Amino acid sequence: MTDQLVRIGFLGVAHLHSVSYANSLLAMAGVEVVGMWDRSEPLAADWSARLGVRHFASAEDLLAEGLDAVVVCSENVYHRPLVEQAAGRVKAILCEKPIATTVEDARAIIERCRATDTRLQIAFPVRFAPAVVELKRQLDAGLLGEILTLNCTNHGSMPGGWFVDPALSGGGAVLDHTVHVIDVLRWLWGVEVTEIYAEIGDSLLHPGLGIDDAGLLSFTLSNGVYGTLDTSWSRPPSYPIWGDVKLEILGERGVVYADTLHQYVTVASNAAGKTQWAGYGSDMDRGLMTDFIDMVRSGREPSITGEDGLAAMEVALAAYASARSGQPVKL
């Protein structure tokens, strides 16, 4: 099955990860990126020209090419219509996170894929970061003993564009970043968040932004572990990379600290305009795409399901509900 040609297309490329995903696929043997479509003609033309990928005039034209799979990297609010359009036309769909902006839309996506026998995978690349993989190994081996508490961060630079338009994104930094960390915690222990309390700042770091750009979440997991998550668009434009995802876990036998983006060298280049951290070694986006292509070829079930995407999104939505009420929310 490893030599089976996989023909794949992109439905929407508005999300920043789409270029990284495409570059990963273009570098893989036996994978053909047939083309892409986006509702923004200027964005589509630029993306197509930079990557050398064919640009289609409509999503329907692209789907008519007989694809094996599609990657949906549109604005969050369009995930549902694009997944529903592709389901039944392809074997598998990789949908960017969050799965949707409402529980209703997320469930509709899952049901549509189930009804059409289309395998749905959600894009949570942090599971494939080497530090997180090693962290899971240590936890599975019980090296820390009983887990007491955990402290997590997911900081980034303010992305602008549709990310700060609630009608398109469904939420700001809290929705954008919470889902990554919650998915990792669910994967590490096979647990759910049972209660959450959140303080959320609207335009706290970026005056006049009009959407949340910072949040501090306190939560309890179903295994009794208490944790916190600092999620924000707090990194300035001059920051060497987009941000960070870090986990610090305290157990009875010690503390383990995982930094998902620590594999880098510092490069000072006048051509780049600023000092940058150039990643080396493992690439979590490449890991995600490798896993997805393996699923398409083998016919196995997704490693990150639509239900995983729904569960992570529900925690972020509960955080917003807690901030509005000023009270903890049970899930």
Residues 35/54, Cβ–Cβ less than 8 Å: yes
Quote the radius of gyration of the chain (alpha carbons, Å): 20
Long-range contacts of 37-41 (CB under 8 A, 24+ apart): 37/9, 37/10, 37/11, 37/12, 37/61, 37/62, 38/10, 38/12, 38/13, 38/14, 38/74, 39/12, 39/74, 39/78, 40/14
pLDDT grade, residue 317 (50/70/90)? very high
Q: Give percent above pLDDT 70 in the chain.
A: 93
Given CATH 3.40.50.720, say whether it is the number of domain 6-123. Answer: yes
CA 156 – CA 178 distance, rounded (Å): 12
Mean pLDDT of the chain: 94
- The pLDDT tens digits for 148-202 are 999 999 999 999 999 999 999 999 999 999 999 999 999 999 999 999 999 999 9
- The pLDDT tens digits for 9-57 are 999 999 999 999 999 999 999 999 999 999 999 999 999 999 999 999 9
* Preceding amide of 98 cis, omega within 30: yes
Half-sphere exposure of 34 (CA within 13 A, CB side): 21
For the segment 50-79, the average pLDDT, to the nearest whole number, is 97
The domain locations on the chain are 6-123, 127-283+313-330
Beta bridge partners of 254: 251
According to the model, what pLDDT value does residue 239 have?
76
- Whether pLDDT at 143 is above 90: yes
> Other CB atoms closer than 10 Å to residue 105's CB: what's the count?
22
Q: How would CATH label the architecture of 127-283+313-330?
A: 2-Layer Sandwich (3.30)
Residues 200/323, Cβ–Cβ less than 8 Å: yes
